[in-house]
Amino acid sequence: MTIRKLLALALGAVVLGGVVAAGALLYYARAPLSIGAVPVQFSLKSGSSLKSAARQMADAGVLRHPAVFVLLGRILGRAGRIKAGSYEFEQGLTPYTLLQKITRGDVTLMAITFTEGVTFRQMRRLLDEHPKVRHETTALQEAQILEQLSITESSAEGWFFPDTYYFSEGTADVAILQRAHQLMRHHLGTQWERRASDLPFATPYDALIVASIVEKETGRSDDRPLVAAVFVNRLRKGMLLQADPTVIYGLGEAFDGNLRKRDLLADTPYNTYTRGGLPPTPIAMPGLASLAAVMDPPQSDVLYFVSRGDGSSHFSRTLTEHDRAVTKYQRSGRR
C-alpha cells in the first residue's frame, strides 16, 4: 500500500471519527435527562465555572456525564457565561436546554433563610414577611400548625432545621415548615444513632433541648463542644444548668435585653437557676454543629464557663476557679 493510500485512509478515519463524535455529542445534547422525581431544585454558587457548575449539577442529581456537558458548553462558546442562582427543573430537560438555562440565568426559585438560634416565633415572622410565600398559617394558632405538620409534641420550638430553603413563588408557608421539620427530624435521628453511650438523655428530644441551649450560649465554633460538655456534666451530677438563655426564653416578650437578678430568682418552667433538670422544650432551633456536640461531647470534667467579653469563653472545673474567672472577665458573670 502506497503512502498516499495510507494518508487517505488515515484522513478518512479522522473524518469518520469526527463525524461519529459530533453525532454522539448532538445525540447527548438533545436527549432528555433522567432526573428522577420532579421538580429538581438546586443552586449554583457565585463564581462557578462551567466545570464546577457541571460538578454541582451532577451532585444534585440533575446531570450525568458532566465532562461531556463541559465539552458541549465549550464548543458552543458558553463556558464563561454561567449565572449563579437557584434553579428548578422539570422532566423533558435536555443538556442543551439546561446549558441555555444556566447561561441565561433563568432563575426560578425564591429563597428564605432560617439561621441557627432562631425561635419559632421569629421563624413565623420571617415567613409572614416574605412577599413570595403563600401565607396559609398566619392566622393559625401554634397547636393548629403542629396538627398540620403531624408534630406530636406540645411545642413547635426547636423542631425546624436552620438552613436556606428554595421554593417556587406562591409556595405555601406550611410546605416550607414541613421541609424544615423533616430535615430536623433527619439530622436529629442521624446524630442520635451516633451518640456516645453514656449520655444523660432519655430521648432524642432531651438532646434537642440541650442542643438548643448550647446554640444560644455560644456562636463560637471552637467553644461549642466544651459548652456541651459543661451541660452534659451538670446533668450527670444533678446540678442546676443555670443557663441564662433559658431564663430569657421564659421571660418571652417581657425581656428588654437586660437580664436582672430578679429575673434569675423569678421561678418559671424555663428558669434553670430555680429548677433542676431540663426546661420543658427547646428554646430555639439548633444547628447541626450543636446537635453533634451534645451527642458526643469531649471527655472533660468542666462544670462552669464565663464569657471573656470577646466572644470566647473561659472554662473551669471547680467553683473556686470559676469565681476567679468571673472576677477577671466579668464581675456580673454568673456561670
pLDDT digits (tens, 9 = 90+) for 79-129: 888 888 778 777 778 888 889 888 888 877 788 999 999 999 999 999 999
CA distances 172 to 88, 137, 177, 179, 233, Å, are 17, 9, 9, 11, 43
Query: What is the C-alpha to C-alpha distance for residues 95 and 114, in angstroms, rounded to an integer?
Result: 33
Query: What is the C-alpha to C-alpha distance for residues 37 and 112, in angstroms, rounded to an integer?
Result: 23
Partners of 172 in beta bridges:
134
Burial status of residue 67 (CB atoms within 10 A of its CB: 0-12, 13-18, 19 or more): exposed
pLDDT digits (tens, 9 = 90+) for 196-241: 998 999 999 999 999 999 999 987 889 999 999 999 999 999 999 9
Rounded to the nearest integer, the mean pLDDT of the chain is 87
For position 333, what pLDDT does the model report? 45
Structural domains in the chain plus CATH codes: 29-107 (3.30.1490.480), 110-189 (no CATH), 197-329 (no CATH)
pLDDT digits (tens, 9 = 90+) for 102-115: 888 887 778 899 99
Query: Which segments of 130-269 does DSSP mark as H helices, in order?
Result: 142-148, 173-193, 204-217, 224-237, 244-251, 261-265
Question: Coil, strand, or helix at residue 120?
Answer: helix
**CA 132 distance to own-chain centroid:** 21
Q: Position 314: which residue type?
A: H
CA distances 150 to 41, 74, 146, 147, 204, Å, are 25, 49, 6, 5, 17
Query: Is 82 in contact with 55 (CB distance < 8 Å)?
Result: no
C-alpha cell at 311: 466572644
For position 140, what pLDDT does the model report? 94
Query: Is 64 in contact with 35 (CB distance < 8 Å)?
Result: no
Helix (H) or strand (E) holding 40: strand 40-44
Per-residue model confidence as pLDDT tens for the chain (335 residues): 566 555 555 555 555 555 556 677 787 888 888 766 666 777 787 788 999 989 988 887 788 888 999 999 999 888 888 888 778 777 778 888 889 888 888 877 788 999 999 999 999 999 999 998 999 999 999 999 999 999 999 999 999 999 999 887 788 999 999 999 999 999 999 999 999 998 999 999 999 999 999 999 987 889 999 999 999 999 999 999 999 999 999 988 888 878 888 888 889 999 999 999 999 999 999 999 999 999 999 999 999 998 887 778 889 999 999 989 888 887 544 45
